[in-house]
Structure 1
């Protein structure tokens, strides 16, 4: 659009100079120039608004500017207006270049034939129009269309190559992140589940002892979450690095609470990529919500759900414990809710909603963005 628009602007500038110098008193000449300028503004203004050349306006430009205006100028102004070396037929070159970009090969070929036929007909009618000038004009129309099409093809090809390179880089980064996450899970399994099973198999502990059963239950919950976690990113999410970071941060908060004796049933679903500070703030707020369950709810179990909302995240922590009156949250939960949950979410552009009532349990919802 830029190249063909500048090409048209150069022809209109030549037309303005010609009319101002040679036919300044001709209303018809100014009307022809104004028509060409108006149609050019409509063609390229629409293209700028839509991001592409509109086929209808391209055809209108070819038929009116390239074909009709020369005939009108011949009738209203006379033969000098459509001389093969004059400004009016120059518009045929810029019209053919716009057709090559906006209509494709077949449409451009049809437009070029129309422009050449118009020029040939005018050449046969206008006395004194030399064959050399006609051939030069033919060359201008054909070369303008050819160069514009080659330019368009080259830019499209380069864009496709860049897109392919970007997709390869994204795929390589996703593979690297998945490998890093697998290694992290392997290390976690080695330090937890494998260590527990090895100890039990060696007979070093009583498998029926309550602490051993509790540890096995926590590690079974950890394995269950690994199986259930849906970390498939949305097509617009890009690399899975942010997704992995979100899930890993929330998982760390859950495991920290479980180490203190709180059983957490967690579900993760389609977590999108989020900035690192957002993932850290969400995990910290979740940790505080789980700590409040452990300290104040009078129950040993909490339920956590983390889901993607487009490019955002919603995390819900629920317990079926004693509950409290939210209006007295400061007395019930100290400074945890105002400072460690509400304020932390507000700093990252998120929000926290706490719903509770005495005897009805508590629900804490964390949303990012708010």
Structure 2
């Protein structure tokens, strides 16, 4: 027998040798003077004065916290207004606000999938993976973007009901799910389609109404959407969008709704202000997508592997965790903060830098990025920074 902390130390040492240790690095308000290409603030709204003032007004009127769960004292008129505005903006029948997008996914997938079959894309976010596990449903993980595999899994099911679950825009690869084909497949087999719009809302489609809306599917009652308020909307929180039957089921049975404290009023107020900006500034999502395309073109020009972005996420795949860590540190030295993704956030062999575009990036910013990515391209040529053995970590 070993002492409990000895076991934890040994596991930490193993992660260290595989380049998989993580650390908290508290930043300053200005991101330590670095150009921010790591956050999910795609529209540059998190520090917008209109959002800040809306948050302050909400705090003054409602207080700092929501004071309880949504079913006790945590539902205010501000929450109800936000739900109405989210539904109207996205073309959904209704909305239910949560304190995070993670909890919205847990509720939607676990409650709606319980006792049935869940077909989940291999590239889905960890919150969906965890929700599948909590659902106690039978789960089939299909290859990324493989509609035929989804069709096969649904055709072979014995369960009475089924969910097909996918990200709209995948959080690391940045590609768009084949939503129309997935919906057609789900309809053919009597399944419900659940789409996580976290990285699509505010960036994809008319006024940033999301990928489901852009695909012409917003009015379908057999599609459930989950969103976050913490990315394009510059606030914090999440929501489920769907038919009244879906919303009612989550109010009755969604554990991460029933037993969690409601979203803070400040976050609701800021999100409402962000929706107002999106509704009145038609070109804002397009500016974010344009900057993402420019970042991807720059990476390709320098010989770094990337793909055409569907939204604001631009991955630069480097392979090993050690190389990704070194490249991320080098970018910081040259004035750019980027995301560094390693297992379990990505599969083995797919460690990468993730650059996230913002609508407010300018030409001077892109010049700084060019310098950093040029150095990364040179770094990848050094033989001593080849593959590092990777620890198997269950995603």
Q: When you count strand as a share of all residues, which structure comes out higher?
A: 2
Q: When you count helix as a share of all residues, which structure comes out higher?
A: 1
TM-score with structure 2 setting the length: 0.19
TM-score with structure 1 setting the length: 0.20
Q: Which has the higher contact order (CA 8 A, sep 6+)?
A: 2
Larger Rg: 1
